[in-house]
Amino acid sequence: MNTANRIFNFSAGPSMLPLPVLEQAKREMVNYQGCGMSVMEMSHRSKEFKAIIERAEQDLRDLMDIPDSYKVLFLQGGGSLQFSMIPLNLFHKSKKADFIITGSWAKKAAQEAAKFGEVNILASSEEDTFTYIPQVEPEKFSKDADYCYITYNNTIYGTRYTKIPDTGDVPLVSDLSSMILSEELDLTKFGLVFAGAQKNIGPAGVTIVIIREDLIGLASQEIPTMLNYQIHAKHGSLYNTPPCYAIYMAGLTFQWIKEQGGVSAMQKINEEKAALLYGTIDNSSMFRCPVAEKDRSLMNVVFVTGDEVLDKKFIAQAKAEGLMNLGGHRTVGGMRASIYNAMPMKGVQTLVNFMIKFERENI
Ligand SMILES: *Cc1c(COP(=O)(O)O)cnc(C)c1O
């Protein structure tokens, strides 16, 4: 435990936030920078809030090196609403989209897209419980698809892409919910990316969409106004009341990441944390990681003992040591340690020490 009596929270989301971010929010809670009120009480049209949202966007642009030809939108509805907004906005010519199915989130996105157009599944790793990322040869991508969709990091199964698929002229769309800002990414390879904030950015309630300008305005004008990217882009995410406080919190996290040295510095720490944890699993005779080595996630580390009773005992004893939420997703069981940007190296070290001790006591 640290000085604020905080546990190490390995939850997949909502998840740990950096302590300095929470402390700053606490200091500013009832009187934001001398304006006499909380950010929660402020008009979204006030000059104070305008400064908050503009700075958040600029800091995100700096951190992710977002080209000027892309818009940044702060929306609501979570990652899941994007499963609907993407087909509603991007289906316009062939009304066809390619999907690579690497887990439940990709599947849900494909099911939603299939309500509005034709979904072409290029590959799936479902037959192997999504333990790897399927390779797709460039010639397999449809030339006439309106977009191609991937889930970059698979939160539940602990896999991630390490190479961005080459879809040629077809816009690549990716769900970055559980990896945004954790490693460097060349955004020019994508037409649209999105992420719900509650994994690696801030509290639930805001979803970030980064969209190339030529993909805005393709939607039929019959789609609901609130689901049209063009409306949100035109109004700078202020068409209606945005999730003001969640945007403020996200902005604090962006400032914190900048102070840490930016995304490249986060990536370096994330690689060190993941290497320590995977190394411990690989060196153990009790724990095993089911995921193909080349596709292992830096953010969600999945592991099992192979014995469900032992898994449960591990999770319960870890909890008693302040190592919380290590249970795997309810659909897969086992263990999962989500080690997002806000999880300090100390948390992973504490977990690894506990794993070694647990193994010694339970063989
Ligand atoms: C959590 C998650 C989602 C769903 O996000 P909501 O904001 O709950 O809708 C979608 N995709 C991925 C990869 C996720 O990890």
At residue 225, what is the residue type?
T
Pick the catalytic residue: 199, 256, 295, 311? 199
Residues of the chain with pLDDT under 50: 1
Assess whether the C-beta atom of 87 lies below 6 angstroms from ligand 1: no
- Does this model's pTM top 0.75? My answer is yes
Look up 105 and say whether it is catalytic.
Answer: yes
Q: What pLDDT does 363 receive?
A: 84
Assess whether the C-beta atom of 78 lies below 6 angstroms from ligand 1: yes
Pick the catalytic residue: 175, 256, 273, 311? 175
Pick the catalytic residue: 105, 146, 256, 273? 105
Same domain, yes or no: 346 and 276: yes
At residue 38, what is the residue type?
S
- Rounded to the nearest angstrom, the gap between the alpha carbon of residue 249 and the centroid of all alpha carbons in its chain is 16
Q: What pLDDT does 3 receive?
A: 59
Q: What pLDDT does 315 receive?
A: 98
Q: What pLDDT does 331 receive?
A: 86
DSSP 61-88: HHHHT--TTEEEEEESSHHHHHHHHHHH
Residue 312: give the domain boundaries.
262-362
Q: What pLDDT does 1 receive?
A: 43
Torsion of CA 245, 251, 253, 259, to 10 degrees: -150
Residue 13 lies in a domain: no
Residue 16 lies in a domain: no
Look up 175 and say whether it is catalytic.
Answer: yes
Q: What pLDDT does 139 receive?
A: 92
* Residue 84 burial (CB count, 10 A): 18
Strand partners, 118: 96
Ligand 1 atom, smallest distance to 155 CA: 15
Same domain, yes or no: 83 and 161: yes
Instruction: Kindly give the distance from the C-alpha atom of residue 350 to the centroid of ligand 1, in angstroms, as a whole number.
Output: 27
In the chain, how many domains are there?
Answer: 2
Instruction: State the Cα–Cα distance between residues 121 and 110, nearest whole angstrom.
Output: 8
Same domain, yes or no: 28 and 128: yes
- Look at strands 300-303 and 172-175 and give their pairing: unpaired
